[in-house]
Amino acid sequence: MSASSVKRGLSFYLLAAFFTLFVVFLYGPMLIIFILSFQGPTGGLTFPMRGASLHWFSDLFSSSRYGDVAGGFRRSAGLGLMSMSITAVCCLFAGLAFRSKFWGSGALFYLCIVSLVVPGILLGLGISQFFQILGFRLQWWLSGLGAHLSWTLPFGLLIMFAVLNRYDSAWDEAARDAGASPRQILGWVTIPILFPGLIAVALFGFTLSYDELPRSILTVGGKNTLPIEISNMTTNVTTPALYAIGTVTSLVSFAAIALAFGLIAIVQKRRARAL
């Protein structure tokens, strides 16, 4: 470190202030609706708080005027878990495949990029019309799941590339030289080493699917996912129940994030101890 960077100058504090403002900008509005979701029964959509209660949370799940919130929640959680598992498995193997050039690898990569780039609603339209032409009914667990995978798989693949960047194929070769079969290499060398990265892929798979809106709208058929229920609420609902569902769904996301980071931290700690 040079002498000039030892003492922190004015620019550090200015940049730190800017960064802090950005973090407030990111979290401030969310914090406001978390607080407002605990409005008293007579409270409205904005401050002041008229008492504090859990009224809007119970209203959310007991009243029928908010649509099928509980059903939407169940379906979104189910879709999230399915997308998570499929994304983790497909992207692990596809990532391994992409280490060598194979026929069509370029086309497959560009198909993934195209899926990220095109408007989600357009892809939803394509999937729903494709199903319609084939004479299949739209189901959240089939066409809906496919639409979600078109969003989670490309993300998972890109993260897998980053994870595999730091993976040395010599580890595989060493295991092979020691007499391990391909399956043993995968189970005892590759997957354990890549495990933290796989957790990251799984986190993306779950949260991106759980919160997905544009690709879902036209593909889930008659039964809505939670983001669709919430998006309907944004135009119909004028009570703090809208914020209550925001608090609930954010808690689910935070729990998923905490679980993923917790798992990664445990793995890293074990590794550090093993060294």
Binding residues among 9-38 for another protein as defined by CB under 8 A:
11-12, 15-16, 18-19, 22-23, 25-30, 32-33, 36
User: Between residues 8 and 273, which has the closer beta carbon with respect to another protein?
Assistant: 8
SS3 52: strand
Does residue number 119 form part of the binding site for another protein (CB under 8 A)?
A: yes
- How far is Cα of residue 189 from the mean position of the Cα atoms in its chain? 27
Contacts of 189 (CB under 8 A, 6+ apart): 171, 172, 175, 180
Question: Which amino acid appears at position 90 of this protein?
Answer: C
User: Between residues 22 and 63, which has the closer beta carbon with respect to another protein?
Assistant: 22
Contacts of 55 (CB under 8 A, 6+ apart): 39, 40, 41
The CA-to-CA distance between both ends of the chain, in Å, stands at: 30
Does residue number 90 form part of the binding site for another protein (CB under 8 A)?
A: yes
Does residue number 178 form part of the binding site for another protein (CB under 8 A)?
A: no
Does residue number 246 form part of the binding site for another protein (CB under 8 A)?
A: yes
- The answer to whether 84 and 197 have CB atoms below 8 angstroms apart is no
Question: Please, what is the angle between helix 241-274 and helix 10-36, to 10°?
Answer: 130
User: Between residues 55 and 240, which has the closer beta carbon with respect to another protein?
Assistant: 240
Query: In what helix (H) or strand (E) does residue 92 lie, and over which residues does it extend?
Result: helix 69-97
Residue 273: CB minimum distance to another protein, A = 18
User: Between residues 55 and 88, which has the closer beta carbon with respect to another protein?
Assistant: 88
Does residue number 167 form part of the binding site for another protein (CB under 8 A)?
A: no
Does residue number 171 form part of the binding site for another protein (CB under 8 A)?
A: no
User: Between residues 98 and 141, which has the closer beta carbon with respect to another protein?
Assistant: 98
Which parts of 225-244 interact with another protein (CB under 8 A)?
A: 227, 230-231, 234-235, 242-243
40 vs 160: CA distance, rounded Å = 47
At 13, list the tokens: 């504090």
Which parts of 127-166 interact with another protein (CB under 8 A)?
A: 127, 129-130, 133, 146-147, 149-150, 153-154, 157, 161
- Pick from 24, 45, 54, 191: which binds another protein (CB under 8 A)? 45
